[in-house]
């Protein structure tokens, strides 16, 4: 690898032990990738110091604070214990922990809340922004075009690259924690111009309009191209932020898509020629009615029981317009006594929902607006949940495997109808 | 004794390991796809669902899914359920970081497709520093 003098100085320990250990990990990682150099990153999104019960217990005998121990040995994969200093570059914490306002609803113990808050204080004192969301771009962290980022969270990564034209690979916890201390990340993959062009073509032959439509299209695209870069052409209305959010989250779950182009829509794809650049089309896929129905049936293959007891919205974390939509559907009604309705969002968006009165509307209908986590990330559902209704293909992909429940997938309206009646009556497209 | 085949590739993480192969043609999801405490694949429709990779030579196309990939495989090292080595085709940041923090010998960019040549149960030796994979095929 070619290291700059500044990087060599960090590696030699001239910027302190923590920086040295972070650089050692980044060099091992860059060599594993086959990268030749680092880029300077100015925007890092990770989950520094995240502490599961397993990790807390695993490092409980280390003679230091549990957070320093976990950060040293797990985040930085260092055999030496270090004291965590102030971070070097603008960084935020993604989803995790428990909602400090609604921890009891989430089934957390007072001890779990205290732990979540003390860990939060630890990283906040070191300069990390506590956004606590999978959608940092909805909570004030909107990278500039071309900015080198080091982000975790596959749904945020794909948004960052495709919609914002900033640059990040799908980083992990260890690489983002190391990047927070050093401002360095391997110059590999999507940081480089030549790797951002499309490779696979998707001809969209049916109208793709609703958020649900975009979620299903994303699920199809991810399964079709896996880790490749799809280029979409065909019939679609201009998607808004929510549609991009659901399309990307789906494509990054059924496959490993980190970048895509929609011709005439996304910033690096004014034309088909620009989207592919010098690349040859590896394969072309067609998305028509048959494919859409296959995806719908596939997503709904894990449910048989129409009696729904839990409705979870906000994957990825709900935008304010989605919360407004839910409030419109709930207006004046109460959800079924047999159901729980949880909607997850970021703290930033909830503060807007509070001001608008949406939080109260949801509460009055028998639901709740929650922050920081979701059912998959927190592995938390109301006690006794057996059948879930979801409007997110991503959450539908994960929840049955993680929690052993049945899951129905449909539109937000289908989900709110299920909440009001206790019955799933989703409409097959 | 079956046939012995040698492949040449590139080191991802150095070291030596040998063991029985566990092969899949499907990419592996870490977070949400693997139970780290048990070292098993849990993804609903995965062909390895329910199978353990503990102490196996894991042969697979690459990583997919959540950015929690490295954390899940990192945890397998702590829980003692990690594979002995990894052989894969598609380099991604997920699999690179996962291999680094799992600290198991890993190779990629092999001169022939390991998914074609290695079957589950074959005895495989990985010399990751030299990028060499030696396959002892159990059946021709």
**What 8-state DSSP symbol labels residue A189?**
G
Per-residue pLDDT at B140: 55
Contacts of A154 (CB under 8 A, 6+ apart): A170, A249, A252, A253, A256, A258, B65, B66, B67
Quick check: A61 contacting B, CB < 8 Å?
Answer: no
A227: nearest CA partner in chain B: B64
Question: What is the dihedral sign for C-alpha A393, A398, A401, A403?
Answer: negative
Q: How confident is the model at residue A256 (pLDDT cuts 50, 70, 90)?
A: confident
Percent of chain A, pLDDT > 90?
Answer: 93
**Mean pLDDT value across chain A:** 96
Residue B81 domain boundaries: 4-136
| Residues A138-159 pLDDT 10s | 999 999 999 999 999 999 999 9
H or E element in which residue B69 lies: helix B69-79
| Residues B54-95 pLDDT 10s | 999 999 999 988 889 999 999 999 999 999 999 999 999 999
Per-residue pLDDT at A63: 85
Q: Which chain B residues are closer than 8 Å to A54 by Cβ?
A: 37, 75, 78-79
Is the separation of the CB atoms in A327 and A362 below 8 Å?
yes
State the CATH number of the domain containing residue B113: 3.50.30.10
Give long-range contacts, CB 8 A cutoff, 24+ apart: A269-276: A269/A198, A269/A231, A272/A231, A272/A233, A275/A197, A275/A198, A275/A231, A276/A197, A276/A198, A276/A199, A276/A231
Is the separation of the CB atoms in A76 and A48 below 8 Å?
no
B65 and A171: CB-CB below 8 Å?
Answer: no
- Does B66 participate in catalysis according to the annotation? yes
d(CA A299, CA B23): 27
Strands A387-390 and A91-93: unpaired
B99: nearest CA partner in chain A: A32
| Burial bucket for residue B16 (CB in 10 Å: 0-12, 13-18, 19+) | middle
Question: Would the pLDDT of A232 be above 60?
Answer: yes
Q: Which chain A residues are closer than 8 Å to B104 by Cβ?
A: none
Question: Would the pLDDT of B31 be above 90?
Answer: no
What is the residue whose two structure tokens read 């005439």? A264
The reported pTM is 0.95
Compute the average pLDDT of residues B119-126. 98
Say how many domains are in chain B: 1
Give long-range contacts, CB 8 A cutoff, 24+ apart: A123-127: A123/A48, A123/A49, A123/A93, A126/A48, A126/A84, A126/A85, A126/A86, A126/A87, A127/A86, A127/A87, A127/A91
Kindly list the structural domains of chain A, giving each domain's residue range(s) and its CATH number in brackets, ordered by start: 5-193 (3.30.499), 197-298 (no CATH), 303-421 (3.30.499.10)
For testing the chain B interface, which of A58, A157, A169, A170 should be mutated: the one with the most B CBs within 10 Å?
Answer: A170
Question: Would the pLDDT of A348 be above 80?
Answer: yes
Query: Distances in Å between the alpha carbon of A209 and those of A138, A213, A214, A249, A390?
Result: 22, 6, 7, 17, 18
Is the separation of the CB atoms in B137 and B41 below 8 Å?
no
Question: Would the pLDDT of B139 be above 80?
Answer: no
Facing B32 at nearest CB: one of A151, A152, A401: A401
B97 and A34: CB-CB below 8 Å?
Answer: no
> How much is the ipTM here?
0.97
Per-residue pLDDT at B95: 97
Q: How confident is the model at residue A334 (pLDDT cuts 50, 70, 90)?
A: very high
Q: How confident is the model at residue B1 (pLDDT cuts 50, 70, 90)?
A: low
Exactly one of B29, B52, B66, B67 is catalytic; name it: B66
d(CA B105, CA A17): 27
């Amino acid at each position: 690898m070619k290291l700059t003098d500044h990087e060599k100085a960090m590696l030699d320990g001239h910027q302190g032990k923590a920086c040295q250990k972070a650089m050692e990990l980044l060099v091992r990682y860059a060599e594993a990738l086959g990268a030749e150099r680092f880029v300077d990153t100015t925007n890092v999104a990770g989950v520094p110091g995240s502490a599961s019960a397993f990790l807390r217990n695993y490092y409980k005998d280390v003679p230091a604070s549990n957070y320093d121990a976990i950060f040293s040995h797990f985040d930085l994969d260092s055999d030496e214990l270090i004291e965590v200093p102030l971070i070097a570059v603008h960084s935020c914490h993604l989803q995790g922990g428990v909602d400090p306002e609604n921890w009891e609803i989430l089934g957390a113990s007072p001890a779990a809340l205290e732990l979540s808050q003390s860990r939060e204080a630890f990283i906040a004192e070191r300069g990390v922004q506590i956004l606590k969301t999978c959608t940092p771009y909805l909570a004030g962290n909107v990278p500039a075009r071309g900015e080198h980022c080091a982000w975790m969270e596959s749904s945020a990564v794909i948004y960052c690259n495709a919609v914002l034209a900033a640059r990040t690979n799908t980083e992990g916890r260890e690489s983002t924690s190391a990047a927070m201390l050093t401002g360095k990340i391997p110059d590999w993959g999507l940081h480089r111009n030549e790797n951002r062009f499309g490779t696979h073509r998707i001809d969209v032959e049916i109208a793709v309009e609703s958020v649900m439509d975009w979620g299903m299209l994303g699920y199809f695209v991810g399964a079709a191209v896996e880790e490749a870069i799809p280029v979409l052409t065909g019939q679609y209305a201009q998607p808004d932020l929510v549609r991009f959010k659901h399309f990307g989250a789906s494509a990054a779950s059924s496959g490993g898509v980190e970048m895509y182009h929609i011709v005439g829509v996304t910033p690096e794809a004014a034309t088909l020629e620009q989207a592919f650049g010098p690349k040859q089309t590896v394969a072309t896929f067609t998305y028509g009615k048959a494919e859409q129905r296959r995806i719908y049936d596939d997503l709904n293959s894990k449910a048989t029981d129409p009696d729904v007891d839990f409705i979870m919205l906000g994957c990825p974390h709900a935008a304010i317009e989605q919360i407004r939509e839910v409030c419109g559907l709930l207006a004046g009604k109460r959800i079924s006594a047999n159901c729980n309705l949880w909607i997850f969002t970021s703290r930033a968006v909830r503060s807007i929902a509070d001001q608008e009165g949406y939080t109260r509307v949801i509460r009055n209908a028998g639901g709740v607006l929650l922050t920081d986590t979701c059912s998959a990330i927190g592995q938390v559902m109301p006690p006794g949940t057996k059948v879930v209704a979801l409007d997110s293909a991503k959450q539908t992909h994960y929840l049955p495997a993680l929690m052993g429940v049945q899951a129905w997938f449909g539109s937000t309206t289908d989900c709110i109808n299920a909440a009001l009646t206790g019955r799933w009556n989703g409409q097959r497209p | 004794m079956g046939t012995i085949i040698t492949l040449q590739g590139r080191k991802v993480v150095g070291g030596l390991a040998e063991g029985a192969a566990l092969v899949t043609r499907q990419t592996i999801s870490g977070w949400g796809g693997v139970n780290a405490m048990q070292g098993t694949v849990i993804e609903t429709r995965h062909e390895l669902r329910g199978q353990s990779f503990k102490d196996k030579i894991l042969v697979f196309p690459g990583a997919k899914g959540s950015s929690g990939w490295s954390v899940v495989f990192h945890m397998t090292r702590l829980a003692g359920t990690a594979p002995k080595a990894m052989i894969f085709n598609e380099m991604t940041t997920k699999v690179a970081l996962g291999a680094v923090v799992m600290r198991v010998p890993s190779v990629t960019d092999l001169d022939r497709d390991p998914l074609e040549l290695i079957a589950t149960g074959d005895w495989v030796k990985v010399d990751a520093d030299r990028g060499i994979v030696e396959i002892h095929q159990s059946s021709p």
